[in-house]
Amino acid sequence: MAEIHELRSRFAAALSRMYGREVPEYTTLVDVTEQVNADFLAAHPDTAERLGSIGRVTAERHGAIRVGTPSEMHDVAVLFAGFGMYPVGFYDLREATPPVPVVSTAFRPIDPDELARNPFRVFTSMLTTSDRRFFDADLQRQLDGFLSRRRLFPDVLLSLARRAADDGGLDAPQAQRFVTLATSVFELSHEPVDLGWYRELEQVSAVAADIGGVGSTHINHLTPRVLDIDDLYARMSARGIAMIDRIQGPPRWDGPAVLLRQTSFRALAEPRRFALPDGSVTDGELRVRFGEVEARGIALTPSGRELYDELMDADPSNTKGLWDKRFPASEDELEKHEAAYFTYHGGVREPIVYEDFLPKSAAGIFRSNLDTDTPTFDASGTEFSRSSLAAAIGRDVHDPYELYRRQQEQSRGPER
């Protein structure tokens, strides 16, 4: 019997192999990441594994997918539950500048032991077709019609996922089938794309076209974890790979690593086939998929996060001067200000790693990889919230702070 965590590890590894075949630059990124991690571990043997064992970090990936409807989101939740991944957090990317017409959550393990085994997470976005700032009534009707006619996940895949979730795993042949099928639904399709429809959606938003302009979904990027992202950025640039212009998130500084720092290489032109109005099929290309890399730090409490957001707003280019002045400069300081989460097993303090995402960085990643920019709208949008997303998904969307807080509390033991 393959237990759920083994299924998850195999799924992450299979997606990584597939994405490496599809996007060769991703393989370069993974190679350079592994070199940076080995060098960092050699240079800092005592501290390198403070936020996760090298085994965990080497296998660690996050992916991103985009779906069109609540019912597709519901199926995604069924599928990922089979890998022990549950929705955590609510991200409204429509509030970003420029706005992206999606709301998102991240599917990931929530139990600390499961995270230690393999923390694979998938940032999952759902198109908000009812948002009038993007789609007028007519376009919404067409879009909803198009989306309702497609099936992203075959029934056999969803029933294997349900069985894995119910039984805590699958027998060997079923496990094999589950991982293979689950990987293949995220492969880039070679079905011809209806060019007229795709371009019409692209006028509104490149992300809308990527989601609603095609008949299937695909992994949009896959992200390894690196221990020194500044070093990684320099080494990738030296290899001639065009990275986006900066590292998103907190600045490089001498204090503790917090939250998440990310960077990516630009979306690459990939060959796609297009169906033209006269019924003929032609070869072309689209730029939607890219490579991203991230460094993870300590999870911040709501007040720590507030300070982080304040500093980022005050100085978006985030020179480290402001941080040196204002941000707690050590784990002791973070603890004293209750700005970050820690565990206290046997009285020993250990930081809790941030397992989630940052909407501003996510928007930056979306934005820097779009061919066209989305215009800004001022009308107010449709209501979407953590609870309405939960209703669509048909299960609870966990509050990340609650998970970190509980982990901290449980480590302090019952004597408190």
The count of residues interacting with Ni ion (CB under 5 A) is 3
Contact of residue 129 among Ni ion, ligand OOG, none (CB under 5-8 Å per partner type)? none
Considering only the stretches 29-37, 179-187, 288-296, 345-353, report the one whose residues sit in contact with Ni ion under the rule CB under 5 A: 288-296
Collect all residues with Cβ–Cβ distance below 8 Å to 15 and sequence separation of at least 6: 61, 63, 183, 186, 219, 222
Contact of residue 125 among ligand OOG, Ni ion, none (CB under 5-8 Å per partner type)? ligand OOG
Considering only the stretches 43-51, 102-110, 223-231, 373-381, report the one whose residues sit in contact with Ni ion under the rule CB under 5 A: 223-231
Collect all residues with Cβ–Cβ distance below 8 Å to 64 and sequence separation of at least 6: 122, 123, 124, 125, 219, 220, 221, 223
Rg, the chain, Cα only: 21
The yes or no reply on residue 355 touching Ni ion (CB under 5 A) is: no
CB of 287 within 8 A of CB of 270? Answer: yes
**Residue number with CB closer to Ni ion (6 or 60):** 60
Compute the least distance from the CB of residue 382 to ligand OOG, in Å.
20
Alpha carbon distance 340, 328 (integer Å): 10
Strand partners, 281: 275
**Residue number with CB closer to ligand OOG (125 or 183):** 125
Quote the distance between the C-alpha of residue 46 and its chain's center. Answer: 29
CB of 85 within 8 A of CB of 120? Answer: yes
Helix, coil or strand: residue 312: helix
Contact of residue 366 among ligand OOG, Ni ion, none (CB under 5-8 Å per partner type)? ligand OOG
Determine the residue with CB nearest ligand OOG: 362
DSSP 316-373: TT--HHHHHHHS--SHHHHHHTT-B-EE-GGG--EEPBP-S--HHHHHHHHHHT-SSP
**Residue number with CB closer to Ni ion (233 or 342):** 233
**Residue number with CB closer to ligand OOG (4 or 222):** 222
**Residue number with CB closer to Ni ion (133 or 225):** 225
**Residue number with CB closer to ligand OOG (123 or 178):** 123
Helices (H), 118-248: 137-148, 155-167, 172-184, 195-204, 206-212, 229-238
Compute the least distance from the CB of residue 63 to Ni ion, in Å.
8
Compute the least distance from the CB of residue 264 to ligand OOG, in Å.
8
Give the CA angle between residues 89, 383, 248 to the nearest 5°.
40
Contact of residue 60 among Ni ion, ligand OOG, none (CB under 5-8 Å per partner type)? none
Contact of residue 66 among ligand OOG, Ni ion, none (CB under 5-8 Å per partner type)? ligand OOG
Burial call 10-26: b when 16+ CB within 10 Å, e when fewer = bbbbbbbebbbebbebb
- Among positions 47-66, residues that touch Ni ion (CB under 5 A) are 64
Among 83, 82, 77, CA closest to 106: 77
Collect all residues with Cβ–Cβ distance below 8 Å to 413 and sequence separation of at least 6: 344
Among 292, 355, 361, 407, binds Ni ion (CB under 5 A): 292
CA dihedral in degrees (44, 47, 50, 54; nearest 10)? 20
**Residue number with CB closer to ligand OOG (246 or 412):** 246
**Residue number with CB closer to Ni ion (147 or 229):** 229
Which positions lie near ligand OOG, rule CB under 6 A? 64, 66, 123, 125, 220, 262, 292, 357, 361-362, 365-366
Contact of residue 220 among ligand OOG, Ni ion, none (CB under 5-8 Å per partner type)? ligand OOG
Alpha carbon distance 253, 257 (integer Å): 8
Contact of residue 160 among ligand OOG, Ni ion, none (CB under 5-8 Å per partner type)? none
Among 365, 74, 202, CA closest to 210: 202
Considering only the stretches 77-85, 166-174, 201-209, 292-300, report the one whose residues sit in contact with Ni ion under the rule CB under 5 A: 292-300
Contact of residue 205 among Ni ion, ligand OOG, none (CB under 5-8 Å per partner type)? none
Alpha carbon distance 291, 288 (integer Å): 10
Contact of residue 357 among ligand OOG, Ni ion, none (CB under 5-8 Å per partner type)? ligand OOG
**Residue number with CB closer to Ni ion (60 or 292):** 292
Strand partners, 273: 283
| Phi, psi (degrees; rounded to nearest 5) at 54 | -65, -30
The binding site for Ni ion (CB under 5 A) comprises 64, 223, 292
